[in-house]
Structure formats: C-alpha cells, structure tokens
Structure 1
Amino acid sequence: MEVAVYNIQGSDTGKKINLSEAVFGLETPNDHAIYMDVKQYLANQRQGTSKSKERGEVHGTGKKPYRQKGTGNARQGDRKSPLWRHGGRIFGPKPRDYSFRLNKKIKVLARSSALTYKAKEENVRVLENFNFEAPKTKQFLDLLNGMEAQDKKVLLVTGDVQKNVYLSGRNLPKASVLPASQLNTFAILNADLLVLTEDAVNFINQREEN
C-alpha cells in the first residue's frame, strides 16, 4: 500500500512510501485483541493506592460503650465498629496492583488491527523526516494548519525521540508526540489523525512484520 509523503507545510513532495499490508492492511482486524490491549494499557495506568481504614486501624477506645444486657440496644463491643460514626469501613479498598501481562503476539495483532482501521478510514498521513532547531509551539501549530488538522486530535509519531518536537507540541491539548518505539494501541485509537514520519513508518513496518 503506497501513500504520498507530505512536508511540514502540508504540500505533497511527490514521493511515495510503502505501508506494509501485514501491518496497515489486515483483511480481518481483531477487535478482541484491541480490547485486551487497551484494557491492559488502562489497567497499567492505575495507581492502585486508594486505602480506607478498617476497625482495627481507626483511632478510638477499645472500651465497651455500655453494658451487654438490659439497655434495650443492640450489643456493642467498642466504638470502632463500622456501625458507629467514625468507625472503620467494612471491606474498604486496599493498595493493590491492577496491572496484568499480555501475550506479545496479541499486542502486535492489536496494534496492527488499530493501524489497519486508521488506514481504512484514511486517517494516516506520512511526513518527510524533520526536526525543530528549538522548541517552538508556533512551528507545531503551523504543521497542524498545513495538514488542516488544527481542530483534530493528532498523534505525531517520530522515528526516534525528538525532544524539540515533543516540547513544541506538549502544551497543545489535542496534540501528542510519541517515538515509534512507544506507539501503542490506545494512543492510535485515541487520535483522530495519525501522522507518521518516514522513519516511523520504516520502524513500524520492520517491528510488526518481525
């Protein structure tokens, strides 16, 4: 699958680049693999640090509030019972790890399926390799305007880490920049337009095919 290569002004350079059919052209994208990969990504983002105190952890006396019998009230052992105000919480949350492992082949299939959907929807754009001499948000905005994507959620994928490009787009709420090695299914699906540099395309083609 060949697509045109654009420059950062949004003009067609006349060059073509091949998007691997094994990555961007699956006949039957696997929705369940996408679901599992996105589920794992979101689970891995959870801190899992929520915590509430149980009856053995709250501050309070262990003294029996009143005698066992003869008051007409239900019997009580101490004021730290969950039935009392300021008592402990029953089955409250505890720190835990929400992350889980996922087979590498499923993750590869999920990324390829997500990339296939983007390609079928014609929401993949390829830019020639570029870099910014210094972090300039205005340059990044000019790049988005050249692609007529200023109102879209854009994911720009570079071949390697380009600090100046990343810093230029960091303050824009609808734009994000990732190196190709960190590209994931969630980021692909979360973007309206996927913009790849030539080096990023070559990296993705090689990684997913192997």
Structure 2
Amino acid sequence: MNRIVYSIEGKELRTIELDDAVFGLPVNEDVIWYAINNELANERLGTACTKDRSEVHGSNTKPYKQKGTGRARRGDKKSPLLVGGGIIFGPKPRDFSYRMPKKAKRLAMKSILSLKAQTDLLKVIEDFSVQSGKTKDLAKILQNFGAPERTVLILKDDDEMLKRAARNIPWLTYLSYNRLRAHDLFYGRRVILMEGAAKALSEFYASSEEAEAAV
C-alpha cells in the first residue's frame, strides 16, 4: 500500500510503502470490540461499596415484641427492609481487569490501523520535533492538516518535548508506536502517523510474530 508523505507544512514530499501485514488486513470488528472493552474494563476502579446488615451500625435488639402489635415481625433495625438498614446484594470493591491474549491484541491494533488506512483517515507526515516544547508551535503544524477534531498522533519514539507540547491540546492524543491503545485509535477521527513510526510499526509487529513462531 503506497501513501503520500506530507511535510509539516502540509505539502506532498514523496510516497512510502506501508506494510500490508499491518495496514492492509481485512478488518476484524469482533477483535476490535474485544480490545476496546478490555481497555475500558482495565480502567474501572471498582471502588463502589455498600454495607450489608452485618456492617450497618445499630442495635441487635428487636424494635418491638414479636406478637400482639399487628405489625410485621422485625428482628432488628438493620434489616434491609427498613430505611437505614443494610443493602441486599449491593456492590463491593472488586477488580474488573482481565488480560487479553497477545495475538488478539496485536490483531486488533492492526485491524484498526487497516481500517483507518482504508477509509483515508490516516496521513503519514515526515518526522519532526518541537524543540521549544510549546503548545502553540505544535498547534500551527496540526492546523496544516485540517480543522481541530479528535486526532491521534503516533510517535516514532518518546520525544519528551513533543509530548509536552501536545499535553495541552484537548482534542489531540499522542501514542508511541509500541504502546497503542485501541479505544483512542478507533475513535480518532484523524490519525497522523510519523514516517519513522510507520517503519517501526512494521518491524515491531514482524518481530513479535517471529518471536511467537519461535516459541
């Protein structure tokens, strides 16, 4: 798959061949859904907590005698049937996270990248950095690629100055090529891929598959 490489001014420079094993696969919607839900589940805190009748503070004595009042039989004021009593089957702190198979996760990322490439939502730009670390300098570059909208910038390395500049742009998410997130990548309306990151992605997934085959 051939793609045009743009300069930071938005001008066409050259073409690059993207690896079909990463950017040209059939889109697997099921594994994408699985990966997104896995990330959302792993982010849940699971801190909701309620008290059952054994944890509610109160007396254990009967509020009134068993017979002769014409009222319902009550054991104590902590009964779940009374206001201020315990909660029946209420939530308790729990861990919602779970691990997703590595092969499935890699397939999900490659499916999303293929989806973006096939729908022309992916643009490849030359490698650049923001030496000043200022948000306004990065914003000027991004303006050359369209109006502000939910954008994902895939980096070729951990550029601290570039990350500092991107931190204050609310509609921009930056990801390293080897630490992609399915949720951000899938819902991004525009994906800007650095030229170096495109090559690194091909090598990263190729090396991962070779390692799995060796095992």
What band does the TM-score fall into relative to the shorter chain? over 0.9
Query: CA offset at residue 188 of structure 1?
Result: 1.2
Unaligned stretches of 5+ residues in structure 2: 210-215
Query: CA offset at residue 16 of structure 1?
Result: 2.1
Alignment correspondent of 1:151: 148
Alignment correspondent of 2:168: 171
Matches of 2:72 and 2:121 in 1, distance apart? 66
TM-score w.r.t. length of structure 2: 0.92
Alignment correspondent of 1:11: 11
RMSD (CA atoms): 1.2
Aligned sequence identity (%): 39
Deviates more, 1:126-135 or 1:43-52: 126-135
Matches of 2:105 and 2:196 in 1, distance apart? 21
Alignment correspondent of 1:122: 120
Matches of 1:133 and 1:151 in 2, distance apart? 22
Alignment correspondent of 1:54: 52
> Which deviations, in whole Å up to 9, do the C-alpha atoms of 1:80-117 show, x marking residues without a partner?
11111111111110111111121111111111111111
**Equivalent residue letter for 2:37:** K
Q: Which of 178, 183, 186 is residue 181 of structure 1 equivalent to?
A: 178
Q: How does 1:36-47 map to 2 (within 5 A)?
A: 36-47=34-45
Matches of 1:44 and 1:203 in 2, distance apart? 27
**Equivalent residue letter for 1:20:** D
Question: Would you say the 8 A contact 2:173–2:184 is kept in 1?
Answer: no
Q: How does 1:1-210 map to 2 (within 5 A)?
A: 1-13=1-13, 15-26=14-25, 28-148=26-146, 150-209=147-206, 210=209
Structure 1 segments of 4+ aligned residues over 3 angstroms from their partners: none
TM-score w.r.t. length of structure 1: 0.94
Question: Would you say the 8 A contact 2:152–2:173 is kept in 1?
Answer: yes
Alignment correspondent of 2:212: none
Question: Would you say the 8 A contact 1:161–1:178 is kept in 2?
Answer: no
Matches of 1:184 and 1:18 in 2, distance apart? 24
Matches of 2:30 and 2:187 in 1, distance apart? 17
Matches of 1:179 and 1:108 in 2, distance apart? 14
Matches of 2:183 and 2:85 in 1, distance apart? 42
Query: CA offset at residue 120 of structure 1?
Result: 0.7
